[in-house]
């Protein structure tokens, strides 16, 4: 081969290597393992599994990679993670609930661990907690509770026979369902609301959970509850045989009721126990993460997805508007993060 030929071959070889290098680079950029601060990796959003439909929509509509995880598990992992991340973190932000983000921040401060989250955003969207009750059962509870079906009153009859409070013998026990407080933000909020409403205030302390009256009431309720991430869906599909009462969010209830048959919609009553408590969705950026992600999640893409999932972004309830949907309270009316952690500890004790 001539010298010119060799040069030509070398150039072709070099071009070929460059050609191969680009796809490899692209693979590296896409695999999410690169922690370099300057790479142009797609932003990675760690997403509470309960918000999966919101995050799926973000992934479809915006340039975001989604990783779903049970919010309870994420809260626990982030609260105790000790290994340092060099450069850009694995995730750029966390779409979660305000109390879960607060629990992580507080736990890390308490354990003298460096912060890994920046201060979370203000609430991007909110949804009140509500009780879904079959109307025939609600009529019995109305009479039993003196016309005001409160969380405290329902808790007082949890697990007892419907017949004993004026219901029919064939209805069996008063069966309640809600999400698992250990695994989900919704479940944690539900037990927070229960405690706040039993005690009569949302500013609680650990001492409140040591009161005998509270412990007796709380253990009666929670031992009668079936933990079920899809409690409202099962309420609709199995009917009153499975649950008489389910505590869930307005977002979940309205989204699923919109698709339910008319007879099911008309057979259910939705009640917002006073004072109304809400779950607030926030975006918590990871320190060193891609700052563009906040604009996507808290901006129009994020709020549109949350609205479609039944959350309130402004003050108006979602469509179809539930009967008696109240305005949102100024604050969530849930106990603060530290108190919820203590309550979760109490919950573990009474249900084991």
Partner 1 sequence: MNLRRPIAAVVAAATILGGIVLTSTVASAGGCITVDIASSPEKLVLLTELGDRFEQSDEARIDGQCVTIQVQRQSSGAAETLLEADWPKPSKNGPRPVIWSPSASTWAGVLDQRRADAGKEPYVPTPGKSFMLTPLVIAMPEPMAEALGYPDTPLGFADILALAQDPTGWAGKGHPEWGPFRFGKTNPHFSTSGLAETIAQYYAATGKTRDLTLEDLARPEVEAYSRAVESAVVHYGDTTLTFLNNLYRSDRRGDPFGYASAVAVEEKSVVDYNRGNPDGILDPGEKPRKPRVPLVAIYPKEGTLFSDNPLMILDAPWVSAREADAARAFSTFVTKEKNQRRVLEFGFRPGNPAVSIGAPITAANGLDPSQPQTTLEVPTPPVLAGVIDEWDQVRKKARVMLVIDVSGSMGDEADPRTGATKLDLAKRAAVAALDQFQPEDEVGLRVFSTDISEDAPTDYLDLVPIGLVSDNRAELERRIKSLIPTQGTPLYTVTQDSYQQLLDEFDATRINAVVILSDGRNEDDRNNDLEGLLKFLRGRNEGESTTPVRIFPIAYGGDADESTLKRIAEATNAAAYSAIDPATIINVFNAVVSNF
Q: Which residues bind partner 1 (CB under 8 A)?
A: 21, 24, 27-28, 168-173, 175, 226, 233, 236-238, 240-242, 256, 259-264
User: Which is it for strands 65-69 and 278-285: parallel, antiparallel or unpaired?
Assistant: unpaired
238 vs 316 by CB, closer to partner 1:
238
Taking the complex as a whole, how short is the minimal distance between the CB of residue 260 and partner 1, in angstroms? 4
141: Cβ contacts below 8 Å, ≥ 6 apart: 133, 149, 153, 154, 157, 165, 245
Cα–Cα distance list, 6 to 2, 10, 18, 262 (Å): 6, 6, 18, 79
Taking the complex as a whole, how short is the minimal distance between the CB of residue 231 and partner 1, in angstroms? 13
Contact 186, 50 (CB under 8 A): yes
263 vs 352 by CB, closer to partner 1:
263
8 vs 21 by CB, closer to partner 1:
21
Taking the complex as a whole, how short is the minimal distance between the CB of residue 291 and partner 1, in angstroms? 26
How remote is the C-alpha of 17 from its chain's centroid? 48
Q: Which of 292, 279, 312 is nearest to 65 (CA)?
A: 292
Taking the complex as a whole, how short is the minimal distance between the CB of residue 266 and partner 1, in angstroms? 11
35 vs 81 by CB, closer to partner 1:
35
**For residue 320, cis peptide bond before it (omega within 30 degrees of 0):** yes
**Strand stretches in the chain, DSSP E:** 44-48, 65-69, 93-97, 125-134, 176-178, 225-227, 245-249, 268-271, 278-285
Give the CA diameter of the chain.
103
Taking the complex as a whole, how short is the minimal distance between the CB of residue 32 and partner 1, in angstroms? 13
191 vs 224 by CB, closer to partner 1:
224
In 111-203, alpha helices (H): 135-144, 151-157, 185-199
Exposure on the CB side of residue 288, measured as CA atoms within 13 A: 16
Taking the complex as a whole, how short is the minimal distance between the CB of residue 64 and partner 1, in angstroms? 20
148 vs 238 by CB, closer to partner 1:
238
Q: Which of 198, 237, 195 is nearest to 99 (CA)?
A: 195
Phi and psi of 161, rounded to 5°?
Answer: -75, 135
32 vs 326 by CB, closer to partner 1:
32
Taking the complex as a whole, how short is the minimal distance between the CB of residue 241 and partner 1, in angstroms? 5
111 vs 237 by CB, closer to partner 1:
237
Taking the complex as a whole, how short is the minimal distance between the CB of residue 153 and partner 1, in angstroms? 21
């Amino acid at each position: 081969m001539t010298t010119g030929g060799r040069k030509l071959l070398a150039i072709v070889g070099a071009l070929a290597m460059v050609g191969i290098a680009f796809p490899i680079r692209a693979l590296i950029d896409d695999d999410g393992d690169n922690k370099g601060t300057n790479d142009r990796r797609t932003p990675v959003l760690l997403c509470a599994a309960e918000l999966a439909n919101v995050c799926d929509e973000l992934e479809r509509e915006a340039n975001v990679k989604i990783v779903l995880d049970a919010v309870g598990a994420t809260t626990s992992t982030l609260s105790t993670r000790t290994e340092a991340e060099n450069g850009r973190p694995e995730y750029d932000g966390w779409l979660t609930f305000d109390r879960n983000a607060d629990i992580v921040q507080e736990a890390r401060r308490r354990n003298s661990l460096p912060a890994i989250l920046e201060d979370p955003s203000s609430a991007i969207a909110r949804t009140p907690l509500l009780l879904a009750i079959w109307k025939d059962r609600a009529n019995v509870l109305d009479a039993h509770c003196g016309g005001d079906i409160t969380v405290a009153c329902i808790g007082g009859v949890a697990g007892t026979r419907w017949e004993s409070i004026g219901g029919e013998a064939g209805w069996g026990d008063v069966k309640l369902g809600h999400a698992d407080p250990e695994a989900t933000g919704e479940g944690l909020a539900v037990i927070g609301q229960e405690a706040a409403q039993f005690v009569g205030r949302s500013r609680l302390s650990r001492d409140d959970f040591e009161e005998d009256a509270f412990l007796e009431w709380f253990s009666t309720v929670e031992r009668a509850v079936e933990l079920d991430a899809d409690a409202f869906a099962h309420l609709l599909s199995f009917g009153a045989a499975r649950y008489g009462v389910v505590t869930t969010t307005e977002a979940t209830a309205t989204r699923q009721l919109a698709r339910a048959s008319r007879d099911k919609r008309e057979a259910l009553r939705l009640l917002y126990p006073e004072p109304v408590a809400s779950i607030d969705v926030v975006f918590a950026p990871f320190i060193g993460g891609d700052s563009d992600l906040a604009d996507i999640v808290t901006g129009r893409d994020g709020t549109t997805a949350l609205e479609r999932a039944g959350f309130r972004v402004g003050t108006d309830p979602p469509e179809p508007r539930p009967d008696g949907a109240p305005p949102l309270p100024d604050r969530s009316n849930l106990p603060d993060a530290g108190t919820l952690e203590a309550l979760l500890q109490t919950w573990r004790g009474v249900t084991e």
